[in-house]
Copies of this chain bind each other. A is one copy, B any other.
Amino acid sequence: MASSLQTIGSLLWSISVHEEWASSPSEDLHLDLRGPRLRDGLMEALRDAIRSGRLAPGAKLPSSRTLGADLGIARNTVAQAYAELVAEGWLTARQGAATRVASRAESVPATAVPKPAQNRRQVHDLRPGQPDLSSFPRADWLKAARRALTDAPGDAFGYGGPFGRPELRTALAAYLARTRGVRAHPDQIMVCAGTSHSLEILAEVLKQRGMPEVAVESYGLYVHREYLAGAGLRTPRLPVDADGAVVDHLDDLPGAGAALLTPSHQFPTGVALHPDRRAAVVDWARRTGGLVLEDDYDGEFRYDRSPVGAVQGLDPEHVAYLGTTSKALAPGLRLGWLVLPPRIARAAAEVKGEHDSYTGVLDQLTMATFITSGAYDRHIRAMRLHYRRRRDQLVAALAEHAPNTRVTGLSAGLQVLVDVPPGEESAVVQGSAWQGLAVHGLGMFRHPDAPADRDALVIGYGTPSASAWSGALEALCRVLP
């Protein structure tokens, strides 16, 4: 018993200098030792002692009167602490018998969480898919958040419906009509946690409608194919040429109920879908009852003329439009939207569930204010200039240091294709990694069934921060053959 007492006494002292208390400026330590915090501190000391094995399973504890007297604290405080720890299962107490350390509360050594192997540290990053995060408009976003939170009705903080906040859907309907030629009533717009979430929902809808296949472009993000495959859908490919996806091939895919396309700016080859093909794919959808899934991931960023409008505007009944803030603002926001053909809107809502379990309401409200206040337009304009300047610097640097290199996909987006000599793609990617420059080869984005007939790097010039940009550019020029 004496040893238990000593253990507890020394632990109580250690509590008094514990960071947790010391860092709580509003509370007087002396008062703590008389108030409920003393009981909590005693409890934590006892838990620690049991965990570490200093108080062994089955060990008898001093009576609350004895311990209280020895520690100079109220007996009742000790009794409360004991009672709590009995309730939590650390101690046992039986009528008329001493309080003991519970038998199963044996010491469990802390186990570290195994970590994945670290990649070689990359100094420069020119992989595509991420905007310049250092440009996130913090002050404007906070301003919008302040207004949005102040104006929000109380019920906005509750479980949201599957379509998302009406404030954001109304703002999006106007914004998308104005900037992307999208035709949508707010009722057709579903707020999602980004394009991957949108694709998950659409994949499930297609599956439920008995459509076993979604045609995808020969080049694209493998995670998109994975989301579709995750719902049990097959993803046959459409070739991609200088006019974008070869949509005529849809006629050779009788099982395809939908086609996932990046019409405004094919990812990652950078070509725009030819007008005739825009018409042809809408015709296909009308003829077959199919659905075009239009991934407009960076529709805002076109440099040499204003953005090409969305295919959705041609036929809102046959095109589902997928938008996101991941390129225009930040991927960490996890905010995107689906413009749904009315005929599948209810089905999509049922897939998403009665409540939206994922998309936080505060960012939705803030985004609505961000759009309606004009801050989003201003940000897009500023970023368009920013990225165009980078693109021009990239082209100039390549022209100087690697004059025979073919660079394509320049007119829009956040990445270009830089051709390398046939057969050298993976050697260049690997050599770059050794020199601390992270780049992706075109092969990383190739459909498994597509022929490997082109060797190129996909250079994402949005990724580096402002301060890292020129260094990354120099590193690229060094590694090119």
Contacts and interface: CB of A to CB of B under 8 A. Distances in A.
A36 B160 CA distance: 39
A62 interface: no
Nearest to A357: B196
A110 B317 CA distance: 8
A133 B158 contact: yes
6 contacts: A90-B313, A102-B275, A130-B159, A133-B154, A141-B149, A335-B360
Interface string A35-64: 010011001100100010000000000000
Contacts of A251: none
A266 interface: no
A193 interface: yes
Contacts of A331: 157-159, 355
A96 interface: no
A316 interface: yes
B308 A24 contact: no
Given A133-B158, A149-B142, A331-B158, A88 B181 contact: yes
Contact of A306 (B26, B39, B342): B39
Interface residues of A, number: 103
Given A84-B306, A157-B332, A346-B116, A104 B314 contact: yes
Given A108-B316, A275-B88, A313-B88, A332 B363 contact: no
A298 to B, nearest CB: 15
A388 to B, nearest CB: 15
A358 B195 CA distance: 10
A346 B136 contact: no
Give how many copies assemble into the complex: 2
Interface in A135-155: 136, 138, 141-142, 145-146, 149-150, 152, 154-155
Contacts of A275: 86-89, 92, 102
Given A104-B283, A112-B187, A149-B138, A332 B308 contact: no
B342 A156 contact: no
A20 B372 CA distance: 10
A305 interface: yes
B360 A157 contact: no
Interface of A: 20, 24, 26, 36, 39-40, 43-44, 47, 51, 80, 83-90, 92, 102-105, 108, 110-116, 130, 133-134, 136, 138, 141-142, 145-146, 149-150, 152, 154-160, 174, 177-178, 181, 183, 185, 187-188, 193-194, 196-197, 272, 275, 278-279, 282-283, 286, 305-306, 308-311, 313-317, 330-335, 340, 342-343, 345-346, 355-363, 374, 465
Contacts of A334: 356-361
Given A113-B188, A357-B196, A278 B333 contact: no
Contacts of A196: 355, 357
Contacts of A40: 178, 306
